[in-house]
Structure formats: C-alpha cells, structure tokens
C-alpha cells in the first residue's frame, strides 16, 4: 500500500456540488443510483476525474445522460475527456451489506441497515471523490421493505415519504448543509425512539430523537438528557446553536468506534447510548454524557468547519475532545468535581497517549504520513490534540479563547481547513498574547511527536530572600524525528511555604504581586525565573508546578519526600495534590521493582493515605483517585523512560504487595469508609454520588482482599450478597470485582449469577467478559480463564464490543496476564490478530497495538514478543491496516 503524505496535498480536480442518492435496500444486494452535479476545478483544467470505490460493483456510468468509456486504475474509476463545463454524472452500482463484516460503508447489524463512512467508508457505498474537502448538498431516497424496515433515516430533513408496490416504502431526506462524504449516513430498520422538542435561545424549535431497538427504550433517558444539556451548553459557552430542525442519535451494537457525528444523524455504539441503573455503571453514565456531547459538538467543530485533508484530523478531534472535556467539567459543577474530571482525563492521557508517543507509532498531532488513515484515529490526535487546544486557551485566557473561536467560525464557516487556520484564528483574536507572539514555535505541538521532559530546579537564597527556578526541556527522538526544537510550554504554578500556605508571587523586576498562581511560559531549551517578594522569601518554598497539568509533559521536579507530603496535605491545586500522592506511590513501587526486594510500605506513607481517607473536607471521588495506586502500564513507562527493561511480573508483584499492605494497615479505615459511604436513596449518576460509590467499592475490595490473610468470611459474604441484591450495577460490579481481584472462591458463583441474571443484556455480558479478562493474574489462572472464555458460546469476534471485551482488555489493560515466560500470551495475541484481520482490519489493527511496547520489555518477554510480531508480519495476506502497525512495531 502506498504511503500518503501531507506535503502531497493538492486540491481536487473537480468539485461535486450536489448528490442525489437513491438506495434500493436489500441485505444481499443493494442498488445505489448516484446522480452528481460535477464542476471542474478551474485551477486544474483538463484533468481526468478519479473516483474512489472499494468492494462495490459498477453497473453504469453516464455523463450528461450519455454513456462514456472509463477505466479502473489503482482501485479508482478514471473518467477522461470530460466536459469543461459543469456536468451531470450518474453512477449505478451495487453492494452487499450483509457481507460487510468490516463495518465500514453500508452494513447490517441485528437485521437493520447502518452506515459508517469516516474516514473512507463512503467509497464502499458508491464511487465518489471521497475526501473531506469536497462538500456537496445531499438528497437521499431510501426504498426498503416496509415491514422489516419501518424506519428510514438519513441526514437533514424528511421531505417526502410513502408506500410503494410489493410491500415496500420510501423516504426522501434533504440535508440543507453542504457536507463531505464522510458525514453521510443512512439507517433503515425496526427501531423505536424517545423524542423531545426543545427551543433554543434563538427561539428556534428542534426535535431531538434517540433511536434504539424496541427493548431498549428504557435505557435512553440519560442519553436524551445529555443531548439536551449539550445543546444548551454549546449555546451558552460558545454561542453555537443547533442548525437543524431535527437531530437524531441511533444506537447500533456492531460498531468499530465509539460514535459518529454524521450531520443530523449521529450513529452510536450502544455502549455510549444505553444506560439504566440496573445495567450501566457510573463510568458508563459519564462516558455517555461525554460522547453524546462530543458528537453533538462536532456539529460545529467538524461539520460546519471540517478538515481539508485527513492529516488535519485533530483540527476537529482535538478541539472537540477539549470541548467535551470542558462540558463534562461544567456539568460536574463544583471546583472539586471539575478537578476530579481533570485528574481522570490526565490519568487516561498518561496511560494511553504517553506510551504511544514513546513507541513505534509515535506521530505528531498532525501526522506527516500514513498507510491506513484508520490507524491514525489515535489518542495522540484526540487527547494530545485536546491538550494543545487547552494550552492555547491557557495562553489567551477564557475570554480570549472565546474570541478566538468566534473569529474561527467567522472566517471558516462552511470551509474545509487546516490546523494552521485554527491556530491563526485563536492568535489573531488575541494580538500581543503569549500565543500570538510565539505562534510559529507554538505550532511545533502540531509538528513534533514525543512527550517533552521538563526538569525544574529551584535554589533558595536566604541572603537574597529569593527563589530561583530553572525550567529546562528536552524531547527524546521519535521515529523519523531525531532532533526536536523547543516547545512552548505553559507552566501554571504557585509556591507554598513549608506549612503549605500559598505565597504571593512576584518575579524579580516586577513591581507588585500577581496573586498566588501564575503561568510561566517555557519557550526555550532552558529559562530561569527569580521569585522575590516585598520583604523577600523567608524560607525555602515548596514549588507547585504544572498545576492542573497545564501542558502534556513529563515533569521532573526532583521533589523530596517532605515536599511531596506537604503538597499532598496542603496544595491548593487539587491536581497537584493528587500528583504528589502518585509520586509518593510510584517512588515506593519502583524502588521495589528496581531492587528486586519485596515492597515494604512505611508508616509515614500509610498514615498519609489514612489522613486523606478520613479527611472530612475532601470529596469521596478525590479520595478514590488518591488511594488508587498507579497502573502497571504507567509504572512500566516510568522504567522505560529511564532505559530500565520492564519485567511485568515484577511490577505486578509490587502492586499486589502494595494492595495487600494497604488492605491490612488501613483495615479499620476501610470498614469506616465502606459504611460511611452507603446511600439508600434512589440511584443518581451525579459525580458526588458516583464518587461515594467508587470509594465504598474501593474499600470493599480491600476488605475482601484482607480476608485471605485473616480468614474472615464476613466481608466476602457481604460482597457476594451485594452481587446478588445490589440496587444498581455499579455496586454489583464493585462487589464482583472485589471477589475476582481477591481470587476468592465466591467469585465463581458470583460470576454465574451475574451471567444468569443478565444473559440478554449484551453490554452487561461484554462487561462480564471484560471483568474476568482484567483480573490481576495469579498463577496463570487468569490467562487460562481468558483462553477458555474465548471458546464460550457467548463469545464472538464478529461483534467489536464483544471481541474487545476479552482481547483489548488482555492486550492493553492487563499486562500481568499477557506477559508470560512461556510466551503463550503473545501466541494468543498473534492468533487473534490474524483471525480478526481476515474480516475486520480496523479492529485487528487496534488489537495489534497491544504489543507496541515490546522493545521496552526485559528478557525473555522481549524476544518472545518480537517473535510473535514477526510471525504476524510474515503473513502475506495481512490487511494494509494491520501491516502498517506490525511493520512499524518491528522497525
Ligand atoms: N469522528 C468520530 C468521533 O471521534 C470517530 N469517527 O467522534
Ligand atoms: Zn470526534
């Protein structure tokens, strides 16, 4: 497969101004008639028209009603000697939706039709200029059997519907907004909907609908509430109103991604729509709110203003993730709940994006090249892209950011643009800002891959009453980018005195204080800042740097233990308070891993944990985050960064020791925490209640774990009872996890009960598989169970959610079970990647990424993983998607 390069971008030879599509829907063979109004691009006269098409059967091509000759070249349909004036082009073709197991293009799921066109699925429906800078007006007519497919949906407004002969019916939809083909969608099936009318601030009425299968209507309330909240929020926060009379969300259970922002007709993985207290967890509720918001916000950031080419993907994704994260924070309400959301987002970024940025798939937020664009829907483009937008917002301030967004829409509404255009608009709206004055160097965030390391060294001078802080940065080489120029890094910070009180900040040369928090801009390899004060600083301050995680960097502050304990107790920035706790835990875990000695926790650390747990001023959700140890993956990355080979079982052993010592030493505190955080009222998914449940469940898991030591049967019994009669799925799952992670004998009957009770709830069964696959390994039993589960009658690779429930959980989330001395985990990885690749390359390529970090492993894991990669890459019939991943991994 040829490499596509950003620098090779050229405008299209033709524009497609409008499309009239008609579908005769049939699972085996669907007929598509595609009538386009085409206009030659005056800048490229006389060029042939090359239309993309994949896995479809062409039956006819007419230009202005006349048939013409054509040829196929490199998967494209090439038309030559075309009129120099605008012309009508008609294409007829067929496709086979029921055979489409790639789930890209038009496919069937559960007896209904759905589409997924981003990034390049439209070409699997009909021939087209399948690129985002070609925007057309769509008119779509669907014809199908009325009994099997009573609901016929497409983008925009329903303008006509009626009956046809032979029990068929039709519907015609017109989308008033020009759009690229990747935003096209159709749905046909036996669906029901929840609907609600809303009036926007501007006084316009809109119809909101959430479509699901008949049995799922009772699980749509939260999605609808989230949608309404999204509409309100985007108007209030960004002045962006819904531009459609009707906005639809449709849930489908077979879906490669999370959800898709098709204009006016969002299609969602059921996982991000369906929730009721009995089947969904607090985390699911939060994810649904975030994803419904995300797709809705795309209506402006992505649809009204779209990407010129796929290298600009972060233009819409980074910005829209930033918007959905901000939305979720605003929905969370209070400052402490906002901080919890921020910590969760950062934890995810570090867990997923940092390893990507340090591994073989490292790429800039705006990549330079790809083989399969589907491989670049990455955490770098999404989550790091969101951090880049956040840094811009930090550099121009909230009001400045809003002004920048306004200017962006003023300039580019209706266009297909680039990341440069976006940054330019934010900067131009804020002349003189630290962003505008450094725009070129700031944009290195788009161009350079890799996570910068920032080191901070502070020197206190009692004589001068000053504190000199030197910040330096260095970014390691990444594939294809050996040398990096300095990034522009906003470092939000404050100083604490030794009692933890915030100090007023004043830099040498300034007259007067500037509050207790400010943003330093590190835009050189190294910069020095001298803090003074009216009367000087009277003792060495504790620096609190990178507050709120103001930049996606690895901070090395060489903080001593005393400073970290001070921060954990007193920092006014909740993020850094949590961060101090993480560092204290990481230091203990890694020193055990490095030395090979068993972990022995010290009283000071355990006391600090207890103080947090018992602190009446802290939220339960925050306590849960502080008391949850860093993940094995995060610890592995810390070692890898220092060039120390990663021995996964050793990391696992250290974490297990930490868990059991915390269980023992804090036993009475866990009892208190469990009992003090029981709610009796009706289930509510708000962050405060969710935090209380999370902390109670964390307590329960420690209490059940400790039962193995004490021989206690009461707490395991309580957990089992909760699995039986919990009033919501969050608590039921929490109890099941407690039993599973303690490897308690009651885990088996608990699993059996959950399976029996929820056998018809696909999303719960996904969870049932995932919980088992995510259990920390003990004596190889977890891996053996995973292999057995792969043969379970409910297991299937065809459904992406079900496939991922075992495989992604094992490959990405459970290093303790994957990495084995006998290499069986890697053999299993190879077998499954190869098997899935035969029918769903996108999914296979995602799963293949599970071995990305093989080079960081210690022997014998490293060689065995490499062997598995070589085995997969040796397959001649591999898809381009999976080939790109394994080839890069081995390079
Ligand atoms: N554009 C989708 C999303 O991230 C993914 N295809 O919302
Ligand atoms: Zn998106």
Q: What is the pLDDT of residues 104-118, one digit of tens each?
A: 999 999 999 999 999
Mark whether 470 and 423 lie in a shared domain: no
Q: Rounded to whole angstroms, how far apart are CA atoms 752 and 761? A: 15
**Ligand 1: centre distance to CA 259 (Å):** 6
Tokens of 675: 């009992």
What is the per-residue pLDDT for 512?
Answer: 87
Q: Provide the ipTM.
A: 0.98
Given 102, 295, 579, 637, the catalytic residue = 295
Q: Which residues pair with 197 in a beta bridge?
A: 207
* pLDDT at 514 > cutoff 90: no
Tokens of 648: 């996964």
- Is the bond preceding residue 462 a cis peptide, omega within 30 degrees? no
Mark whether 63 and 86 lie in a shared domain: yes
Q: Rounded to whole angstroms, how far apart are CA atoms 407 and 428? A: 8
Mark whether 428 and 457 lie in a shared domain: no
pLDDT band at 533 (very low <50, low <70, confident <90, very high): confident
Give the chain's domain count.
3
What is the per-residue pLDDT for 200?
Answer: 87
| Structural domain for 431, as ranges | 307-447
**Ligand 1: centre distance to CA 183 (Å):** 10
Q: Rounded to whole angstroms, how far apart are CA atoms 181 and 52? A: 11
pLDDT band at 498 (very low <50, low <70, confident <90, very high): confident
Domain CATH for 540: 2.60.40.1840
pLDDT band at 681 (very low <50, low <70, confident <90, very high): confident
* pLDDT at 547 > cutoff 90: yes
Mark whether 157 and 8 lie in a shared domain: yes
Please indicate whether residue 374, judged by its CB atom, sits closer than 6 Å to ligand 1.
no
| Residues with Cβ within 8 Å of residue 237, at least 6 apart in sequence | 326, 327, 330, 402
Q: Is 295 labeled as catalytic in the residue annotation? A: yes
119, 249, 257: residue to mutate for ligand 1 pocket, most atoms within 8 A of CB:
257
State the virtual CA torsion across 644, 647, 648, 649 in degrees, nearest 10.
-140
Do 118 and 111 form a contact (C-beta atoms < 8 A)?
no
- CA angle, corner 462, sides to 461 and 463, nearest 5? 90
Q: Rounded to whole angstroms, how far apart are CA atoms 832 and 798? A: 12
**Structural domain contains residue 636:** no
Q: Rounded to whole angstroms, how far apart are CA atoms 337 and 409? A: 31
What is the per-residue pLDDT for 758?
Answer: 98
121, 179, 292, 295: residue to mutate for ligand 1 pocket, most atoms within 8 A of CB:
295
Q: Each residue of 563-582: pLDDT tens digit?
A: 999 999 999 999 999 999 99
The distance in angstroms from the start CA to the end CA of the chain is: 17
CA pseudo-torsion sign 306, 310, 312, 318: positive
Q: Which residues pair with 141 in a beta bridge?
A: 22, 172
DSSP of 335-366 = HHHHHHHHHHHHHHIIIIIHHHHHSTT---SS
Q: Give residue for tokens 């779209």.
A: 306
- Is the bond preceding residue 110 a cis peptide, omega within 30 degrees? no
Mark whether 107 and 145 lie in a shared domain: yes
Instruction: Give the atom of ligand 1 at the shortest distance from the alpha carbon of 317.
Output: 4
* pLDDT at 202 > cutoff 90: no
Q: Rounded to whole angstroms, how far apart are CA atoms 731 and 750? A: 13
* Closest residue by Cα to residue 696 from 718, 674, 724: 674
* Closest residue by Cα to residue 253 from 209, 296, 213: 213
Please indicate whether residue 183, judged by its CB atom, sits closer than 6 Å to ligand 1.
no
Mark whether 31 and 159 lie in a shared domain: yes
Tokens of 198: 């809303």
Pure H helices in 46-114: none
259, 287, 313: residue to mutate for ligand 1 pocket, most atoms within 8 A of CB:
259
Instruction: Give the atom of ligand 1 at the shortest distance from the alpha carbon of 302.
Output: 1
Tokens of 854: 């093989």
Mark whether 482 and 433 lie in a shared domain: no
Instruction: Give the atom of ligand 1 at the shortest distance from the alpha carbon of 119.
Output: 6
Q: Each residue of 631-643: pLDDT tens digit?
A: 999 999 999 999 9
What is the per-residue pLDDT for 639?
Answer: 97
Do 200 and 178 form a contact (C-beta atoms < 8 A)?
no
| Residues with Cβ within 8 Å of residue 865, at least 6 apart in sequence | 823, 826, 851, 854, 857
Residues composing the chain: 891
Domain CATH for 131: 2.60.40.1730
What is the per-residue pLDDT for 669?
Answer: 98
Give the H/E segment covering residue 505. Answer: none
Which long-range contacts (C-beta less than 8 Å, at least 24 apart) are formed by 158-167? 158/246
Pure H helices in 216-370: 221-238, 282-297, 313-332, 335-348, 354-358
Pure H helices in 758-812: 762-773, 781-789, 800-808
Mark whether 422 and 537 lie in a shared domain: no
Please indicate whether residue 278, judged by its CB atom, sits closer than 6 Å to ligand 1.
no
**Structural domain contains residue 704:** no
What is the per-residue pLDDT for 680?
Answer: 83
What is the per-residue pLDDT for 513?
Answer: 86
Q: Which ligand has an atom closest to residue 183 CA?
A: 1
Please indicate whether residue 261, judged by its CB atom, sits closer than 6 Å to ligand 1.
yes
* pLDDT at 304 > cutoff 90: yes
Q: Rounded to whole angstroms, how far apart are CA atoms 803 and 833? A: 11
**Mean pLDDT along residues 299-318:** 98
**Structural domain contains residue 259:** no
Q: Going by CA atoms, what residue is nearest to atom 1 of ligand 1?
A: 260
pLDDT band at 229 (very low <50, low <70, confident <90, very high): very high
Kindly report which listed range (14-18, 536-540, 716-720) carries the lowest average pLDDT score: 536-540
317, 322, 378, 843: residue to mutate for ligand 1 pocket, most atoms within 8 A of CB:
317
Tokens of 518: 């400010």
**Mean pLDDT along residues 379-403:** 98
Which long-range contacts (C-beta less than 8 Å, at least 24 apart) are formed by 315-320? 315/417, 315/418, 315/419, 315/421, 315/422, 317/377, 317/381, 317/382, 317/385, 318/365, 318/381, 318/382, 318/384, 318/385, 318/386, 318/387, 318/388, 318/389, 319/385, 319/386, 319/389, 319/422, 320/294
**Structural domain contains residue 365:** yes
**Mean pLDDT along residues 673-680:** 95
Mark whether 419 and 480 lie in a shared domain: no
Please indicate whether residue 295, judged by its CB atom, sits closer than 6 Å to ligand 1.
yes
Domain CATH for 428: 1.10.390.10
pLDDT band at 74 (very low <50, low <70, confident <90, very high): confident
Please indicate whether residue 662, judged by its CB atom, sits closer than 6 Å to ligand 1.
no
**Ligand 2: centre distance to CA 382 (Å):** 8
Number of continuous H segments (helices) and E segments (strands) in the chain: 29, 31
**Mean pLDDT along residues 168-196:** 98
* pLDDT at 705 > cutoff 90: yes
Do 803 and 797 form a contact (C-beta atoms < 8 A)?
yes
Counting residues of the chain whose pLDDT is more than 70, the rounded percentage is 100
**Ligand 1: centre distance to CA 302 (Å):** 10
Do 786 and 777 form a contact (C-beta atoms < 8 A)?
no
**Structural domain contains residue 553:** yes
Q: Rounded to whole angstroms, how far apart are CA atoms 390 and 385? A: 9
- CA angle, corner 267, sides to 264 and 270, nearest 5? 140
The DSSP 8-state label assigned to residue 866 in this structure reads H
Do 471 and 529 form a contact (C-beta atoms < 8 A)?
yes
* Closest residue by Cα to residue 365 from 391, 329, 402: 391
Q: Going by CA atoms, what residue is nearest to atom 5 of ligand 1?
A: 260
Alpha-carbon distance values, 277 to 141, 284, 802 (Å): 39, 10, 21
| Residues with Cβ within 8 Å of residue 258, at least 6 apart in sequence | 268, 269, 271, 272, 291
**Structural domain contains residue 573:** no
The DSSP 8-state label assigned to residue 435 in this structure reads T
| Residues with Cβ within 8 Å of residue 360, at least 6 apart in sequence | 479, 852, 855, 888, 889, 890, 891
What is the per-residue pLDDT for 35?
Answer: 98
**Mean pLDDT along residues 780-796:** 98
Mark whether 443 and 466 lie in a shared domain: no
**Mean pLDDT along residues 149-167:** 98
Q: Which of 543, 558, 573 is the last residue of a domain?
A: 558
Q: Which of 558, 580, 611 is the last residue of a domain?
A: 558
**Ligand 1: centre distance to CA 260 (Å):** 5
**Structural domain contains residue 817:** no
Mark whether 54 and 149 lie in a shared domain: yes
When computed from its CA atoms, the radius of gyration of the chain, rounded to whole angstroms, is 28
Alpha-carbon distance values, 159 to 23, 175, 599 (Å): 16, 10, 69
SS3 228: helix
Q: Going by CA atoms, what residue is nearest to atom 2 of ligand 1?
A: 260
Please indicate whether residue 324, judged by its CB atom, sits closer than 6 Å to ligand 1.
no
**Ligand 1: centre distance to CA 377 (Å):** 8
Q: Rounded to whole angstroms, how far apart are CA atoms 232 and 289? A: 13
What is the per-residue pLDDT for 672?
Answer: 98
Q: For the chain, what is the mean pLDDT? A: 97
Mark whether 483 and 351 lie in a shared domain: no
**Mean pLDDT along residues 205-216:** 98
Centre a 10 Å sphere on the Cβ of residue 276 and count the other Cβ atoms it contains: 17
Angle between helices 419-428 and 313-332 (to 10 degrees): 50
**Structural domain contains residue 645:** no
pLDDT band at 246 (very low <50, low <70, confident <90, very high): very high
**Ligand 1: centre distance to CA 399 (Å):** 28
**Exposure string over 278-302, b if 16+ CB within 10 A, otherwise e:** bbbbbebbbbbbbbbbbbbbbbbbb
Q: Which of 529, 558, 587 is the last residue of a domain?
A: 558
pLDDT band at 536 (very low <50, low <70, confident <90, very high): confident
* Closest residue by Cα to residue 29 from 95, 93, 92, 91: 95
């Amino acid at each position: 497969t040829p490499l596509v390069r950003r620098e090779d971008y050229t405008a299209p030879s033709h524009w497609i101004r409008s499309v009239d599509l008609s579908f005769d829907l049939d699972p085996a063979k669907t007929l598509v008639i595609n009538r386009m109004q085409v206009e030659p691009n005056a800048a490229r006269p006389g060029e042939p028209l090359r239309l993309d098409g994949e896995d479809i059967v062409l039956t006819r091509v007419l230009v202005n009603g006349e048939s013409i000759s054509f040829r196929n070249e490199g998967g494209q349909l090439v038309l030559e000697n075309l009129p120099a004036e605008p012309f009508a082009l008609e294409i007829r073709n067929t496709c086979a939706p029921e055979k489409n197991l790639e789930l890209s293009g038009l496919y069937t799921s559960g007896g209904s039709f759905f589409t997924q066109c981003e990034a390049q699925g439209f070409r699997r429906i009909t021939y087209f200029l399948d690129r985002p800078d070609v925007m057309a007006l769509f008119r779509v007519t669907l014809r199908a059997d009325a009994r099997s497919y009573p609901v016929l949906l497409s983008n925009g407004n329903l303008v006509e519907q009626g009956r046809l002969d032979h029990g068929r019916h039709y519907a015609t939809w017109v989308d008033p907004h020009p759009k690229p083909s990747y935003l096209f969608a159709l749905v046909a099936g036996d669906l029901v909907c929840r609907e609600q009318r809303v009036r926007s601030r501007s006084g316009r009425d809109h119809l909101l609908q959430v479509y699901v299968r008949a049995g799922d209507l009772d699980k749509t309330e939260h999605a609808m509430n989230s949608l309404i909240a999204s509409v309100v929020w985007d108007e209030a926060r960004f002045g962006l109103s819904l531009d459609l009379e009707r906005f639809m969300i449709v849930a489908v259970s077979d879906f490669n991604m999370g959800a898709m922002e098709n204009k006016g007709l969002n299609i969602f993985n059921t996982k991000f729509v369906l929730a009721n207290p009995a089947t969904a967890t607090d985390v699911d509720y939060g994810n649904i709110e975030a994803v419904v918001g995300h797709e809705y916000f795309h209506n402006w950031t992505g649809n009204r203003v779209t990407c010129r080419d796929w290298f600009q993907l972060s233009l819409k994704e980074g910005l829209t993730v930033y918007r959905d994260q901000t939305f979720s924070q605003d929905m969370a309400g209070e400052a402490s709940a906002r901080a919890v959301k921020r910590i969760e987002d950062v934890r995810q970024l570090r867990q997923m994006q940092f390893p990507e940025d340090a591994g073989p798939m490292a790429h800039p937020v705006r990549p330079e090249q790809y083989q399969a664009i589907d491989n670049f829907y990455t955490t770098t483009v999404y989550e790091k892209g969101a951090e880049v937008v956040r840094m811009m917002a930090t550099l121009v301030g909230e009001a400045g950011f809003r002004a920048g967004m306004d200017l962006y829409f003023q300039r580019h509404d209706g266009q297909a643009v680039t990341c440069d255009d976006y940054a330019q608009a934010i900067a131009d709206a804020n002349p003189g800002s630290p962003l505008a004055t450094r725009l070129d160097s700031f944009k290195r965030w788009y161009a350079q891959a890799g996570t910068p390391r920032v080191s901070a060294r502070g020197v206190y001078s009692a004589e001068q009453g000053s504190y000199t802080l030197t910040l330096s940065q260095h970014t390691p080489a990444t594939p294809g980018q050996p040398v990096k120029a300095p990034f522009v890094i906003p470092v939000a910070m404050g100083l604490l005195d030794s009692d933890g009180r915030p100090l007023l900040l004043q830099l040498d040369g300034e007259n007067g204080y500037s509050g207790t928090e400010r943003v330093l801009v590190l835009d050189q390899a190294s910069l020095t800042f001298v803090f003074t004060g009216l009367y000087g600083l009277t003792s060495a301050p504790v620096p609190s740097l990178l507050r709120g995680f103001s930049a996606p960097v690895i901070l090395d502050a060489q903080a001593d233990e005393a400073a970290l304990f001070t921060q954990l107790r007193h920092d006014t920035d909740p993020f850094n308070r949590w961060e101090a706790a993480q560092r204290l835990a990481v230091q203990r875990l890694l020193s055990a891993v490095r030395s090979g000695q068993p972990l022995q926790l010290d009283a000071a650390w355990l006391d600090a944990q207890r103080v947090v747990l018992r602190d009446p001023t802290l939220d339960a959700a925050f306590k849960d985050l502080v008391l949850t140890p860093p993940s094995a993956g995060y610890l592995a990355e810390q070692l890898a960064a220092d060039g120390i080979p990663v021995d996964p079982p050793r990391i696992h052993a250290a974490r297990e020791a930490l868990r059991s010592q915390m269980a023992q030493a804090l036993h009475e505190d866990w009892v208190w925490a469990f009992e003090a955080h029981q709610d009796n009222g009706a289930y509510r998914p708000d962050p405060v209640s969710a935090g209380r449940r999370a902390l109670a469940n964390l307590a329960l898991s420690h209490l059940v774990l400790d039962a193995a030591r004490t021989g206690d049967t009461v707490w395991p019994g309580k957990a089992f009872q909760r699995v039986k009669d919990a009033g919501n799925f969050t608590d039921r799952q929490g109890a099941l996890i407690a039993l599973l992670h303690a490897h308690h004998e009651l885990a088996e009957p608990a699993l059996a009960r959950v399976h029996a009770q929820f056998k018809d709830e696909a999303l719960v069964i996904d969870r049932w598989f995932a919980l088992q696959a995510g259990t920390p390994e003990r004596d190889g039993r977890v891996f053996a169970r995973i292999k057995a589960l792969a043969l379970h009658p409910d297991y299937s690779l065809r459904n992406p959610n079900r496939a991922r429930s075992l495989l992604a959980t094992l490959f990405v989330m459970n290093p303790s079970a994957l990495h084995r001395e006998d290499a069986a985990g890697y053999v299993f990885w190879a077998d499954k990647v190869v098997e899935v690749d035969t029918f769903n390359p996108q999914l296979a390529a995602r799963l293949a990424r599970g071995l990305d970090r093989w080079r960081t492993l210690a022997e014998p894991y490293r060689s065995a993983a490499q062997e598995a990669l070589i085995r997969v890459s040796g397959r001649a019939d591999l898809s381009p998607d999976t080939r790109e991943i394994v080839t890069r991994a081995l390079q």
